[in-house]
Structure 1
Amino acid sequence: MLIHEIKHSARKSLSGHWANTALLTLFSFILQQLVPFQFERTVSGSWLSQATPWYTQPVEFVYSLLLVPFTVGITWLYIDLVRGQEPKISDTFHSYQSFRLTLKLVGTSLLVGIYVLLWSLLLIIPGIYKGFAYAQTFYILKDHPEYSINEAITASRELMWKKKWKYFLLNLSFIGWLILGIITIGIALLWVVPYINASNSVFYNDIANDQGLALEPEDPNTPTALS
């Protein structure tokens, strides 16, 4: 698919669901940004204080790890949406029902982060390049939960072979929308972020179908409905 076709497919999949995905984006922002910010201000004892206790960063690091399954759940919600299934916002928390799955997702996030960091130690560009290579890892784990962490990372690297430039251009094409989000003090991002997430999901679904990695829904004609 061409980039404009990917974005058109993303908008089509979001039709009728913009409000719910915007609410999900807001909820995600609160958990990932406002909660840590409020925590820092609380333990500092003052909104004007620049000093924070030594334990602040370790606590926030653990908190970020605990949010990994939720963040992945958002990614999986969008891939279900673009495939014409019926994802629910509550589905973003389903991974927490399995300790093994939660541990696997956290481990995957850590390992991918370590790999990207190690490549970044060489130069920034190799780190970005590898970040693109590993970008499909969590999508692959959704379609193939039997894969080990390294198998999913390897599959992502293989899937992104000669696809990284297109992936870069796809995300670069949203620069105008992101600027609009800044101008509107973040309000527009409530709709821009779902647009980007859905587009990236369409991108994965397209290249994964080409390689026979994607799992098709049982009934592609099933109408979508977020609740």
Structure 2
Amino acid sequence: MMDKQLKTRKQLKSETKVLFKGNWKSAILISLIGVLAYIVYLRLYAYEYSRLFNSESGSYVSPLNLNPTTSALMIFLILIFEILIMGASYAFLTWVSSKKTPERAFTQSFQVFSNELFFSTIALAILKTIYTIFWYLLLFFPAIIKHYSYSQAFMINKDLQDNPNHPDIKTNKKITLSRQLMNGHKFDLFVLDLSLLGWYLLSLITLGIGFIWFLPYQKAVKANFYRDLAGDQFLILK
């Protein structure tokens, strides 16, 4: 059986633009909390990174010397921010799949806080982070590869939650399913990310204002990539 011909980057982006035509307000409302969370995330990350250096001497300070309470709070806040951003991703996956502009757009990203979806997302975020950190401790480039291998785990999680058969798939298995799904397609997603890099940098230059438009566009394009790659296999899995 021949492999499915996937959509080109141009097609993924064009379809997203068509989806958003006349509906940018809904797109922005869906991702508004995610945008604010991401801006705060970037600022906290930059602040925490700057603390690794002594501002007076310019010398490096070991992370072990940082206040443990502050570091723990940072990790907790970053986890919350990532969950909020993932809520937007889930909402855009629903929109891309149904092709229907969501009603009450602002509340769509909060679907991540529904009981089953929330706890499965938390478990997946923790395990995925542990795996990624482990690979970064070994080598940088293998860690990048694994990042792309694990990249679809959250989308798979969303599909499994929407699956009427409610298959009992463990958290680690979802990561394995993502790795299998991305076999032969990691470079495709990497190049797609590169094609969006210019808009990302422009958003940074505008002190985060550009993320109001960039984040919904990026999340929808990548949701479209996932739906094209995965089809409905996880929605009908038994």
Both proteins in one fold, TM over 0.5:
yes
Q: Is the 1:14–1:198 Cα contact (8 Å) retained in structure 2?
A: no
Output the amino acid matched with 2:150.
Y
Equivalent-residue separation in structure 2 for 1:60 and 1:18 (angstroms): 32
Q: Mark the runs of 5 or more structure 2 residues left unpaired by the alignment.
A: 1-6, 48-54, 57-64, 162-166
Tell me the CA shift for residue 10 of structure 1.
1.4
User: Where do 1:85-124 residues align within 5 Å?
Assistant: 85-87=100-102, 88-98=105-115, 100-124=116-140
Q: Which residue of structure 1 aligns with residue 233 of structure 2?
A: 213
Q: What is the CA-CA distance between 1:53 and the residue it aligns to?
A: 5.4
Residue 60 (structure 1) aligns with: 74
Q: Give 1:187's aligned residue.
A: 209
Q: Compared with structure 1, are the counterparts of its residues 118 and 35 closer, same or farther at alpha carbon in structure 2 (3 Å cutoff)?
A: closer
Percent of residue pairs bearing the same amino acid type: 28
Q: Does 1:159 align with 2:165?
A: no
**Equivalent position to 2:86, from 54, 61, 72:** 72
Report the 3-state secondary structure (helix = DSSP H, G, I; strand = E; otherwise coil) of the residue aligned with 1:16.
coil
| TM-score in terms of structure 2 length | 0.74
Q: Deviations over 1:86-133 (max 9, x none)?
A: 4333122233231x4422211110111111111112211101100000
**Count of residue pairs the alignment pairs up:** 204
Does the CA contact (< 8 Å) of 1:10 and 1:198 recur in 2? yes
* Equivalent position of 1:128 in the other structure: 144
Against the structure 1 CA distance between its residues 119 and 36, is the aligned structure 2 distance closer, same or farther, given a 3 Å change threshold? closer
Deviation per CA, 1:107-163: give whole Å up to 9, x if none: 110111111111112211101100000110011111113322112111110110000
TM normalised by structure 1 equals: 0.78
- One-letter code aligned to 1:18: W
Alignment partner, residue 16 of structure 2: 10
- Equivalent-residue separation in structure 1 for 2:140 and 2:66 (angstroms): 29
SS in 1 for 2:214: helix
Provide the C-alpha distance between the structure 1 equivalents of 2:214 and 2:207, rounded to a whole number of angstroms: 13
> Cα RMSD over matched residues?
2.8
Determine if contact 1:140/1:213 at 8 Å carries over to the other structure: no
Q: Does the Cα contact within 8 Å between 2:156 and 2:174 map onto a contact in 1?
A: yes
Residues in 2 aligned to 1:6 and 1:156: alpha-carbon distance in whole angstroms: 20
